[in-house]
Amino acid sequence: MDDIVKAALLKWPHVPHCYGWLALDARGHWYMRDDRIQAAGPFPQVKGSRIAHDKLLAFIHRNYTHDEHGAWFFQNGPQRVYVELEAAPYVWRIDAAAGWPVQAHTGQPARVQGSWLDESGRLFLDTDLGFGLVHTLDTGIAAQAVEAGAWAPGEMPFADMPGRFGYTLRPRQEATPGAASRREG
Tell me the C-alpha to C-alpha distance, in Å, between residue 129 and each of 55, 92, 107, 164. 23, 11, 11, 16
Q: What is the pLDDT of residue 185?
A: 34
Q: What is the pLDDT of residue 10?
A: 63
Q: What is the pLDDT of residue 41?
A: 95
CATH number, domain of 76, equals: 3.10.540
Residues 99 and 47 in one domain: no
pLDDT by position in tens, the chain (length 185)? 677 656 665 665 676 888 999 999 999 999 999 999 999 999 999 999 999 999 999 999 999 999 999 999 999 887 889 999 999 999 999 999 999 999 999 999 999 999 999 999 999 999 999 999 999 999 999 999 999 999 999 999 999 999 999 999 999 875 444 444 333 33
Residues 118 and 155 in one domain: yes
Q: What is the pLDDT of residue 178?
A: 43
Residues 97 and 57 in one domain: no
Residues 117 and 96 in one domain: yes
Q: What is the pLDDT of residue 16?
A: 80
Q: pTM to 2 decimals?
A: 0.86
Alpha-carbon distance of 75 to 59, in angstroms, equals: 9
Q: Confirm whether 105 is domain-assigned.
A: yes
Q: What is the pLDDT of residue 12?
A: 56
Cis? peptide before 89, omega within 30° of 0: no
- The end-to-end CA distance of the chain, in Å, is 26
Q: Confirm whether 151 is domain-assigned.
A: yes
Give the domain range for residue 37: 3-86+169-175
User: Secondary structure of the chain in the HEC alphabet?
Assistant: CCHHHHHHHHHCCCCCEEEEEEEECCCCCEEECCHHHHHHCCCCCCCCEECCCHHHHHHHHHCEEECCCCCEEEEECCEEEEEEECCCCEEEEECCCCCCCEEECCCCEECEEEEEECCCCCEEEEECCCEEEECHHHHHHHHHHHHCCCCCCEECCHHHHHHHHCCCCCCCHHHCCCCCECCCC
Q: What is the pLDDT of residue 177?
A: 45
